[in-house]
Structure 1
């Protein structure tokens, strides 16, 4: 069997795996190379999951799994979450695996935890070489899927004082990747004592997180 045929069979198998698993309501944390702290905000996703299970009728596993960006394990999850402060590196194999996952129905949310932007933008060119991140307008469905954010992405942490921005990558008109910048939703999802955010700020962060979860699960 030729190398092409083998690759095609693997891809078809992965597509089937994603299709059948896309009905499961679970998400996973993406582990990546490059030295960036992919493991930051350890209490964020468990808190978001609990919030979603209590408020938008999801039934996610309370403890999110961790998957390597280059592993076929990513196909078990309809939604992946990625964060960090520093360097990100995708090998060619990582980029191909992630691209196949996204065009097969998966969704990736990348939340810049401050300092991630220049690295992830460069690596995403490996995933979709002919695309640029596009800022989402405030009337995009993701800002209304569960809770209403008429002004778009909420500001959770100040960082450089810039306005919060939500960027997307699309495949055949479907939003497959969301990059949130100058908002730091993950910090708002963490336990209250970690950043001492007021309840109103944490609530905004969790509500926007619920919007992302609902959108990813239903689109």
Structure 2
């Protein structure tokens, strides 16, 4: 039997859906978050040699932005999780990034499939050099499902902030246009969102790390908030 996310998180996700309807101002009072349970997200630790830990400050910066600019109650720090961990199903959002090889064992492939089909969400963020490896591993997880480009009118581009042209370009890799790719379940829910040729994590980092302009960093953080909101409400 496939494992599913806990019922308590299902309740929290419904709460977040209601909360998302209240996103009508840029400023969010501190009291609005104070009594809400803090949901914890996690970075995926994987094998194969890729630097799964890259952009170390990216998730804390994103979570800080989400806490200050939305009504989502998220913990200020992300945890690290291996796909074989019993804690895997406690996280509504997983983040996977890096520059090199990704290699998932058969047990990791099976656990990730169970997690995603049970309601979980994986955000893969291309940090350059990841593409060929992650596509191969995702094909092991879902051999009968394809990565497809997500249309610009999809809710993930319109949850809190609007991106009429889709995924923003944050960091230059190979001169290609950024693409938001996804794998959906039978109901049409995005289980895997792959931000390709964008490098959102670089944009989430403090501005001094990658010398990103304020406009690019703001776009990256806003897109990250949209992805996180979608993960917690679908």
Give the TM-score of the pair, scaled to structure 1.
0.92
**Structure 1 residue 125: Cα displacement:** 1.0
Is the contact between residue 138 and residue 152 of structure 1 (CA under 8 Å) also seen in structure 2? Answer: yes
Secondary structure of 2:87's aligned partner: helix
Is the contact between residue 18 and residue 78 of structure 1 (CA under 8 Å) also seen in structure 2? Answer: no
Secondary structure of 1:157's aligned partner: coil
**Structure 1 residue 72: Cα displacement:** 2.4
- 2:172 pairs with 1:158: yes
Counterpart position of 1:63:
77
Secondary structure of 1:176's aligned partner: strand
Is the contact between residue 70 and residue 95 of structure 1 (CA under 8 Å) also seen in structure 2? Answer: no
Counterpart position of 2:19:
none
Q: Which stretch of the first structure deviates more once superposed, 139-148 or 65-74?
A: 65-74
Counterpart position of 1:31:
45
Is the contact between residue 126 and residue 194 of structure 2 (CA under 8 Å) also seen in structure 1? Answer: yes
Secondary structure of 1:179's aligned partner: strand
Counterpart position of 1:217:
232
Cα distance in structure 1, aligned partners of 2:169 and 2:41: 24
Counterpart position of 2:145:
131
Alignment of 1:79-98 (within 5 A): 79-98=93-112
Counterpart position of 2:206:
191
Deviations 1:44-80 (CA, angstroms, capped at 9, x unpaired): 0000000001111122111110000222211011011
Secondary structure of 2:51's aligned partner: coil
- 2:167 pairs with 1:140: no
Is the contact between residue 42 and residue 78 of structure 2 (CA under 8 Å) also seen in structure 1? Answer: yes
Is the contact between residue 111 and residue 186 of structure 1 (CA under 8 Å) also seen in structure 2? Answer: yes
Is the contact between residue 40 and residue 77 of structure 2 (CA under 8 Å) also seen in structure 1? Answer: no
Is the contact between residue 18 and residue 106 of structure 1 (CA under 8 Å) also seen in structure 2? Answer: no
**Structure 1 residue 210: Cα displacement:** 0.3
Counterpart position of 1:116:
130
Is the contact between residue 92 and residue 231 of structure 2 (CA under 8 Å) also seen in structure 1? Answer: yes
Cα distance in structure 1, aligned partners of 2:7 and 2:105: 25
**Structure 1 residue 192: Cα displacement:** 1.1
**Among 78, 89, 99, which residue is 2:113 paired with?**
99
Cα distance in structure 2, aligned partners of 1:192 and 1:79: 24
Cα distance in structure 1, aligned partners of 2:6 and 2:216: 35
Cα distance in structure 2, aligned partners of 1:26 and 1:65: 7
Q: Which stretch of the first structure deviates more once superposed, 17-26 or 158-167?
A: 17-26
Q: Which runs of 4+ in 1 moved over 2 A?
A: 17-26
Please give the root-mean-square deviation of Cα atoms over the aligned residues, in Å: 1.1
